Chain A
Amino acid sequence: MSGSPRRFGAPDRRLYGTYHAATGRGRGGLAAVICNPWGAEALRAHRSLRVLAETLARSRYHVLRFDYFGTGDSDGGLTDGSVAGWVSDIASAASELRALSGASRVVLVGLRLGGALATLAAQQDPDVDGVVLWDPVCSGSAWLQDLLGPAADASRGVAEVDGLPLTETLRADIASITPARLASPTDHPGLRRVLALTTTPAPGQAELRRLLAPAATHFQWDAVAAPVAWVEHGFFGPGPIAAPVIQRIAAWSGR
């Protein structure tokens, strides 16, 4: 099954995405925007996210996966990224998906940094119907430590990670991601249906789970035994396909 590539968004912020129309029985009415991780994690997880999109399309969802501004095939240079800008890109993708599919209910599905961005986007869009968080980055500062090592706090200017620059502004943006920020306000409609799946323990997960659970009407947070989609498989570049996680997301989306 092949998606349909397209460019969309404001003239000064053109984005690249791939649309997968629903093919399953009872199609229509449901839609999912897939929110990428950042950097090498996005490159390695590309295979899993493509398979996720195809699987969701077979599970009655219209799906749009896309690249944030300054990443992948979207416009913008390597140093043009910001958390606020990427959150607005998710809103733009959701709007494009509604226009393409006619669906009104949109779920945001985010992997790693994409999980954090999806949560922030859900806080701002009353038409978001739920979020799926796949190994979300819950603590931006801890994630930066992972990427940059012990020098993360002290580094100034542009730091390079696997050939991609992290500007000082973007690092400050990311460092401001905390469980409390992701879960506030907890009573937002977009955060009432939450599925969180983790394959790897990470700082902040337990706190985010504790903060999100009380206000949600449908809440599942499970650890899943699955390959880690964003870690290089051998030295071939991409990560493995995290089939067990994809199956869980598709099963949840079918409810």
Chain B
Amino acid sequence: MNAAYREKAMSYGQTTPLTGVLTLPVTPAPSSQPVIVFLNAGLIHHVGPNRLHVTLARALAGSGYTSCRFDLAGIGDSPHRGDGQPIPEGVAADIRATLDHLESSLGARRFVLFGLCAGADNALASAATDPRVDGCVLLDPSIHRTRAWYGHYYAGRATRLDSWKSVLTGRHPAWRRLTDRALRAVRPEPNFAACDDLPSPEAEPEFFRSGPITPDAIGARWRAALARGARFFVVFTLDWGIFYSYADQLYDCYPDIDFGRTALHHRPETRHTFTTESDRNWLVESVIQWLRTSPAQDAR
């Protein structure tokens, strides 16, 4: 196969063995270039939804960038953590352990964290504290509504024909919520027999979010990361419309923050997991372009 990448399976970590895949360009990347690190999107293992991380990693390698996708402890191929740390601290420790491993094995000094949904929140949290994080690609990070959100959101829905169609044809989410509630009342959830040595369906911890995040806490992370000179590529999609409904909402959320070099994209036609080929292509091309043209932080 004439692939423009090489891949290696990785096992590393001290207190908890973590598992990941390293994707390298055929021609070794200079150590001054950032290594892109893909974080889990919720509980989905390291390949990402619809193999998004694999697609991006190989495209990045074709453009000369090294990347790593790995599983946090308890997700995908990594076992549950053995050190008893709570989830937020554990997630931060696993990201640090991954950067440590890439630093010692590749000589990498700078990193760009890539996260979708909960992965975006975890990326921003690390960017706020770890000086090695040069920047982040954040897809649908946590955000809160502004007063203007309501006007944009409801105006958008009122003018969309499919909204009215879904109400009339019974496909509107409100109808589904009512139906689900009625069904639950007459048909309770099955209670599966307990098993002695296996996790029950609900027993695995939910890592979709590493703890409740308040608007103030999110703002503090942005402030800290931007103050260090970290750069950001941020996308809000259609499915985040329930939180984010107009192009500059991020800036309105935190009017006191100078977002400086942030590349902010509002994509109201794109699904949360970039399900169409054209959206994936846009993401690949835009991220590569951003990595190439956005100035690296030198004055740290």
List the interface of chain A (C-beta within 8 A of B): 1-7, 11-14, 16, 18, 40, 43, 46-47, 50-51, 55, 58, 71-73, 75, 78, 160, 162-165, 225-227, 233, 236-238, 240-244, 246-247
Contacts and interface: CB of A to CB of B under 8 A. Distances in A.
Given A3-B77, A243-B195, 13 more contacts: A4-B11, A7-B9, A12-B1, A14-B1, A16-B9, A40-B50, A46-B45, A73-B7, A73-B46, A78-B55, A238-B43, A244-B192, A246-B198
Interface stretch (B123-131, B200-208, B222-230): B200-208
A227 B45 CA distance: 20
Contacts of B206: 236
B42 interface: yes
B191 to A, nearest CB: 9
A43 B45 contact: yes
Nearest to A53: B77
Given A5-B11, A243-B201, A246-B198, A73 B42 contact: no
Contacts of B195: 243-244, 246-247
B200 A72 contact: no
Q: What is the size category of the interface that chain B forms with chain A?
A: 35 or more
A100 B163 CA distance: 56
Contacts of A58: 197
Nearest to A237: B44
12 contacts: A2-B77, A11-B1, A18-B19, A18-B77, A51-B198, A73-B7, A73-B54, A237-B208, A238-B44, A240-B202, A244-B195, A247-B198
A108 to B, nearest CB: 21
Contacts of A51: 198-199
Nearest to B275: A163
A189 to B, nearest CB: 31
Contact of B78 (A2, A72, A73): A2
Contacts of A165: 277
Highest count of chain A CB atoms <10 Å: which of B1, B51, B204 = B51
Interface string B178-217: 0000000000001011010111111110101000000000
Interface of B: 1, 3, 7-11, 17, 19, 21, 41-47, 49-52, 54-55, 76-79, 190, 192-193, 195, 197-204, 206, 208, 271, 273-277, 280
Contacts, number: 121
A233 to B, nearest CB: 7
B208 A236 contact: yes
Contacts of A238: 43-45
Contacts of B190: 225
A227 B192 contact: yes
Contacts of B11: 2, 4-5
Contacts of B204: 47, 241
Contacts of A75: 1, 3, 7
A45 to B, nearest CB: 11
A124 to B, nearest CB: 24
Contacts of B7: 7, 14, 16, 73, 75
A6 B21 CA distance: 10
Given A163-B273, A236-B42, A240-B202, A225 B192 contact: yes
B200 A241 contact: yes
A165 B50 CA distance: 9
Contacts of A236: 42-43, 206, 208
B201 A233 contact: yes
A5 B10 contact: yes
Contact of A5 (B43, B77, B197): B77
Given A75-B1, A78-B51, A244 B276 contact: no
Contacts of A55: 197-198
Contacts of B3: 75
A16 B7 CA distance: 10
B51 A72 contact: yes
Contact of A6 (B9, B45, B52, B275): B9
Contacts of B276: 160, 163
Nearest to B77: A18
Given A4-B11, A160-B276, A43 B201 contact: no
A71 B45 contact: no
B21 A16 contact: yes
Given A18-B77, A43-B47, A243 B275 contact: no
The 9 closest A-B pairs by CB, nearest first: A163-B50, A163-B275, A5-B9, A240-B201, A243-B198, A237-B44, A243-B195, A227-B201, A2-B79
B290 to A, nearest CB: 22
Contacts of A246: 195, 198
B43 A2 contact: no
Given A43-B47, A73-B54, A227-B192, A1 B201 contact: no
Contact of B275 (A43, A72, A162): A162
B201 A241 contact: yes
A226 B45 CA distance: 23
B97 to A, nearest CB: 14
B1 A243 contact: no
A247 B193 CA distance: 11
B49 A43 contact: yes
